[in-house]
Amino acid sequence: MTDLGVIRNLLYEGRVFHAGDIKFTLAEGWKHFERKCAVCWVLSCNNVPFYTEAVFKGSKGRADILTASNGRAVAIEIINSEDERSIEMKKLKYPCDVVEIGVDEFFRIEMIR
């Protein structure tokens, strides 16, 4: 299965998702949105498929960015003001690995590989 297929298998089917689109919510702060765009830019430059504001099947939450590398799905969470407990809950709930990126941290493609 392709990396894009791996991602699509995790997405909630009642919502329209387009690979490569950057979605946001009004609840996001500017630094959070800016970092999300920077991460998506790195993914795009490396031809890595991604979805933003990706809602998982089975009410398992919504990832800031959902991508895949080498057949393994990875949720990327941009951390600004979330507490450690919230992040730990996501790691338990999400049906894939979770990588945390601080709003002031530079994303490297190796972080998902």
| pTM assigned to the model | 0.92
Ordered structural domains, the chain, with CATH: 3-112 (3.40.1350)
HSE at residue 39, side-chain half, CA atoms within 13 A, is 32
Q: Quote the percentage of the chain above a pLDDT of 90.
A: 73
**In this structure, what are the phi and psi dihedrals at residue 12, rounded to the nearest 5 degrees?**
-65, 130
> Is 98 exposed, middle or buried (CB count within 10 Å of its CB: 0-12, 13-18, 19+)?
middle
- Rounded CA-CA distance 34/69 in Å is 23
Whether the CB-CB separation of 56 and 63 falls below 8 Å is answered with: yes
pLDDT attached to residue 4: 87
For the stretch 25-37, pLDDT in tens is 888 899 999 999 9
Output the CA angle 97-98-104, nearest 5 degrees.
155
Whether the CB-CB separation of 22 and 37 falls below 8 Å is answered with: yes
pLDDT attached to residue 58: 92
Tokens of 93: 């709930």
Q: Flag whether pLDDT at 2 surpasses 90.
A: no
